[in-house]
């Protein structure tokens, strides 16, 4: 902080005089008093040593030894210890927004490799270097479809993640786009810009996606693509939280978008490209820059001004260290443990409502709140309560056979 110079009273007076006010408070006269934030009720400041002690005492109140069967878009996956170590290497300590390629080669190369990995997983031609999250990716895909088809109507499946639905609604309302939520796809979809379907959907069901006569947008769980064949579509979106990002990271993930090559110039988010420099050496740079930082706002494909380069880096490292075999094994174990739990519960008379699922499913119980409370008392976070009688439960490779036995014993 040596380069930080605080504005002392003398400097503040000089600045106020330059803009024609007597004091800083005059800048806020136009804001009604009742709308202003009052004095914050904060305790007295502590020294660094006192703060550390206080934080440690608070941290001890956290209960971190629960077995988690949570899902619904955020999953407890195994995170190799090397990921954080590699992500902190100096090669990646470059600008978060890598405008200057000559000092951002590490970040740009990772973005390029991440895009390549996403294309291989999704079977698509082009992928971007992340957007904020899967919810944003869904909303951006809807806007992208409207730009391509020039029709302000879209069809979205009701089984889309409830959080994603909220973001889609916010985006479309602001842009005057009509959204029709469907349970059963109509015979003709030609009057819509796109059909957006999530598979596996929010309830874990693997959806049989039928061909449509408009753009098809698929939202998917990227880890499911370890053992499931990707659906043929025009645009594919999702989240990469399951690729080496802990549930507690604070986002918790990053969204990806991939599409067919002919729609590449409508794809929002950053795209890193590979080329050669003046000396013929391999070099990486941002390409097809159609974001609001580079062109007029109204012509930009997206007005979101940042991506999730750090999480994209972690995802690329995860896929690299796991390898194709390890990635498939993690997906297989997740599905195996989920189906084993479903079978154990079925033996106790608890019905699974899914016809086919990857690693997440809905169970029907007499009292969801009572069941989850009983599981929590046994050290298990049993899933997400959907209503009075339904729970959404997920299993990953982190779930052991003992955990499954314990879960079933509490039902």
Q: What CATH number corresponds to the domain at position 262?
A: 3.40.640.10
Closest CA to 411 of 343, 354, 360, 357: 343
- Count of H-run helices and E-run strands, the chain: 9, 15
Question: Residue 78's pLDDT is what?
Answer: 96
Relative to beta strand 235-239, strand 215-221 is: parallel
Same domain? For 366 and 301 the reply is no
Containing 323, the helix (H) or strand (E) segment is helix 309-347
User: Residue 225 — φ and ψ, nearest 5°?
Assistant: -70, -5
Please check the confidence at residue 107 and state whether its pLDDT lies above 90.
no
Closest CA to 264 of 144, 136, 114, 133: 144
3-state secondary structure of 187: coil
Tokens of 388: 């009075």
Find the DSSP H helices in 156-283: 162-174
Confidence tier at 116 by pLDDT (50, 70, 90): very high
Mean pLDDT over residues 44-67, rounded? 93
Question: CA 174 → CA 120, 127, 155, 171, 191, distances in Å?
Answer: 34, 26, 17, 5, 21
Same domain? For 179 and 288 the reply is yes
Same domain? For 248 and 370 the reply is no
Confidence tier at 1 by pLDDT (50, 70, 90): very low
Same domain? For 233 and 351 the reply is no
- The enclosing domain of 371 has a CATH number of 3.90.1150.10
- CB within 8 A of 378, min separation 6: which ones? 406, 409, 410
Q: Of 317, 351, 367, which residue is a domain's last?
A: 317
Residue 373 falls inside a structural domain: yes
Closest CA to 217 of 290, 158, 140, 163: 140
User: Residue 321 — φ and ψ, nearest 5°?
Assistant: -75, -30
Q: How far apart are CA 46 and CA 354, in angstroms?
A: 54
158 forms bridges with which residues in the sheet?
A: none
Q: How far apart are the first and last CA of the chain?
A: 56
Please check the confidence at residue 39 and state whether its pLDDT lies above 60.
yes
Same domain? For 310 and 385 the reply is no
For 13-25, what is each residue's pLDDT tens digit? 999 999 999 998 8
How many domains does the chain contain in total?
A: 2
Q: Of 258, 289, 317, which residue is a domain's last?
A: 317
Average pLDDT, whole number, for the chain?
Answer: 92
Q: Which domain holds residue 256?
A: 82-317
Classify each residue of 299-333 as buried b or exposed e, where b means 16 or more C-beta atoms within 10 Å of its C-beta.
ebbbebeebbbbbbbbbbbbbeebeeeebeebbeb
Classify each residue of 129-143 as buried b or exposed e, where b means 16 or more C-beta atoms within 10 Å of its C-beta.
bbbbbbbbbbbbbbb
Same domain? For 327 and 301 the reply is no
Please check the confidence at residue 101 and state whether its pLDDT lies above 50.
yes
Q: How far apart are CA 239 and CA 202, in angstroms?
A: 13
Question: Residue 104's pLDDT is what?
Answer: 82
Question: Residue 43's pLDDT is what?
Answer: 87
Residue 195 falls inside a structural domain: yes
Q: Are the beta carbons of 154 and 145 closer than 8 angstroms? A: yes
Same domain? For 232 and 185 the reply is yes
Please check the confidence at residue 212 and state whether its pLDDT lies above 60.
yes
| Greatest CA separation for the chain | 79
3-state secondary structure of 276: strand
Q: Of 274, 302, 317, which residue is a domain's last?
A: 317
Confidence tier at 294 by pLDDT (50, 70, 90): low
Same domain? For 275 and 342 the reply is no
Relative to beta strand 126-127, strand 390-394 is: unpaired
Same domain? For 107 and 215 the reply is yes
Residue 98 falls inside a structural domain: yes
């Amino acid at each position: 902080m040596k380069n930080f110079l605080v504005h002392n009273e003398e400097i503040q007076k000089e600045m106020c005089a330059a803009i024609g006010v007597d004091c800083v408070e005059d800048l806020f006269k136009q804001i009604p008093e009742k709308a202003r934030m009052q004095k914050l009720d904060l305790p007295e400041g502590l020294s660094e040593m006192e703060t550390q002690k206080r934080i440690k005492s608070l941290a001890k109140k956290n209960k971190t030894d629960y077995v988690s069967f949570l899902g619904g878009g955020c999953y407890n996956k195994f995170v190799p210890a090397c990921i954080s170590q590699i992500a902190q290497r100096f090669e990646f300590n470059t600008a978060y927004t890598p405008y200057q390629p000559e000092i951002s080669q590490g970040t740009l190369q990772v973005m390029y490799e991440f895009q390549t990995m996403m294309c291989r997983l999704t079977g698509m031609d082009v992928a971007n270097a992340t957007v904020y999250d899967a919810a944003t990716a869904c909303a951006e895909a809807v806007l992208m479809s409207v730009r391509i088809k020039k029709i302000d109507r879209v069809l979205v499946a009701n089984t889309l993640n409830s959080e994603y639905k909220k973001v889609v609604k916010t985006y479309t309302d602001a842009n005057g786009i009509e959204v029709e939520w469907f349970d059963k796809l109509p015979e003709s979809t030609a009057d819509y810009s796109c059909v957006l379907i999530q598979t596996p959907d929010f309830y874990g069901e693997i959806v049989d996606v039928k061909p449509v006569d408009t753009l098809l947008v698929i939202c998917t769980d990227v880890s499911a693509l370890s053992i499931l064949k990707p659906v043929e579509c025009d645009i594919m979106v999702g989240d990469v939280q399951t690729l080496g990002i802990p549930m507690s990271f604070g986002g918790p993930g990053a969204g990806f978008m991939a599409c067919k090559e002919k729609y590449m110039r409508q794809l929002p988010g950053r795209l890193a490209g590979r080329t050669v420099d003046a000396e013929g050496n391999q070099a990486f740079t941002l390409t097809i820059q159609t974001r609001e930082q580079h062109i007029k706002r109204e012509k930009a494909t997206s007005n979101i001004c940042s991506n999730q380069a750090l999480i994209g880096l972690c995802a690329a490292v995860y896929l690299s260290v796991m390898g194709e075999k390890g990635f498939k094994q993690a997906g297989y174990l997740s599905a195996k443990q989920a189906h084993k739990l479903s079978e154990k519960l079925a033996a106790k008379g608890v019905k699974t409502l899914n016809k086919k699922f990857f690693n997440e499913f809905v169970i029907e119980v007499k009292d969801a709140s009572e069941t989850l409370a009983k599981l929590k008392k046994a050290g298990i976070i049993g899933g997400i309560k959907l209503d009075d009688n339904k729970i959404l439960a997920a299993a990953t490779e982190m779930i052991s056979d003992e955990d499954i036995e314990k879960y079933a014993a509490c039902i």
